[in-house]
């Protein structure tokens, strides 16, 4: 139980284009989803927290107009990187918590490697 | 900004060796401590959630202890196997946010 999928697993896009990443909870309802970013040799850094049906809460320093998060259902959240630039190249990973597992536990997807050329 | 430190950064051991690594975190405003195992190209897998000072958790050959007063947790692997090779992440939780360390990368050689 508590499986989270993420799509795509990797993507290459041109500078100036937008990229959408999907995060799905496959066997439980995710009332809260989290989006993280990881730069090389650094830790997972929380970007934003989203609750189903509500606007996402962004961490300090994360541009909400650049990283659009939608959590329209209890099984799907999307992260759209708008007008991507090379400095947005990173590893993006989502997690979900909700009706499965231990209270407060977050279950992670496998991540998406984004390369902006 | 919370500072979470994990040591060592990497570790190479022979199959059968036992090993341990450390997670240090601020002891103030502590809520819970999570350990994850992250194999390459897979999702981080939840290992333990620990909340109380003195907590000890065990899952097979892996165990963990928690000291919330001094702000550290140890993860132990007894009789390491090649399949234990992964990055082990710790993350103290503050409200509903996990603050991750950079992890300890373990490689177990047959």
Report the distance separating Cα A12 and Cα B108, nearest Å.
33
* pLDDT for the residue A54: 85
According to the model, what pLDDT value does residue B95 have? 76
Alpha carbon of B47 to those of A60, A91, B77: distances in Å?
A: 29, 22, 12
Q: Is the pLDDT of residue B1 over 70?
A: no
Positions of chain A with pLDDT under 70: none
Residues 6+ apart with CB under 8 A from A107: A2, A3, A4, A25, A28, A95, A96, A97, A100, A101, B43, B46
Instruction: Compare all CA atoms of chain A with the CA of B105 and give the residue at the minimum distance.
Output: A41
| Greater pLDDT, B2 or B5 | B5
Could you tell me the two tokens for B76? 């132990």
Q: How far is CA B27 from CA B20, B24, B47, B68, in A?
A: 21, 9, 21, 6
Positive/negative CA dihedral, A64, A115, B83, A5? positive
On whether the CB atoms of residues B66 and B50 are closer than 8 A, the answer is yes
Residue A53: the pLDDT is: 83
The helix or strand, by DSSP H or E, that contains position B104, with its residue range, turns out to be strand B104-109
Q: Which residues of A touch B49 (CB under 8 A)?
A: 102, 104-105
DSSP B83: G
Mean pLDDT, chain B, whole residue set? 94
**pLDDT higher than 90, residue B2:** no
Distance (Å, whole) CA A56 – CA B52: 31
**Mean pLDDT of the region B6-31:** 94
Looking at residue B28, its pLDDT comes to 83
* pLDDT at residue B73, as a whole number: 97
The minimum CA-CA distance between B12 and chain A, rounded to whole Å, is: 18
The answer to whether residues A38 and A47 touch, using CB atoms and an 8 Å cutoff, is: no
Q: By CA distance, what is A101's nearest residue in B?
A: B46
Sign of CA dihedral B70, B72, B73, B78: negative
Give the pLDDT confidence of B62-91 residue by residue, as tens digits.
999 999 999 999 999 999 999 999 999 999
Closest-approach residue (CA) in chain B for A4: B43
Mutate to test the interface with B, among A108, A109, A111 (most CBs of B within 10 A): A108
Residue A64 structure tokens: 């909400």
Name the one residue in this structure whose structure tokens are 């994990």: B6
Could you give the percent of chain B with pLDDT greater than 90? 87
pLDDT of residue B109 exceeding 90, the answer is yes
């Amino acid at each position: 139980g508590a499986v989270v999928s993420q799509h795509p697993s990797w993507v290459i896009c041109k500078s100036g284009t937008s990229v959408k990443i999907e995060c799905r909870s496959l066997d439980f309802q995710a009332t809260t989803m989290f989006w993280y970013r990881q730069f090389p040799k650094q830790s997972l850094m929380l970007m934003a927290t989203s609750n189903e049906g509500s606007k996402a809460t962004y961490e300090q320093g994360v541009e909400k107009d650049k990283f659009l998060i939608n959590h329209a259902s209890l099984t799907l959240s999307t992260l759209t990187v708008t007008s991507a630039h090379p400095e947005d190249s990173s590893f993006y990973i989502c997690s979900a918590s909700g009706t499965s597992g231990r209270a407060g536990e977050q279950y992670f997807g496998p991540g998406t490697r984004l390369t902006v050329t | 900004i919370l500072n979470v430190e994990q040591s060592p950064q990497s570790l190479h051991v022979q199959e059968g060796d036992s090993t341990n690594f450390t997670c240090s975190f601020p002891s103030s405003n502590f809520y819970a401590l999570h350990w994850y195992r992250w194999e390459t190209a897979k999702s981080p897998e939840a290992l333990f959630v620990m909340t109380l000072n003195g907590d000890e958790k065990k899952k097979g050959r892996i165990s963990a202890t928690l000291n919330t007063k001094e702000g550290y947790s140890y993860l132990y692997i007894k009789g390491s196997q090649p399949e234990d090779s992964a990055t082990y992440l710790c993350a103290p939780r503050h409200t509903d946010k996990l603050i991750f360390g950079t992890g300890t990368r373990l490689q177990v050689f047959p």
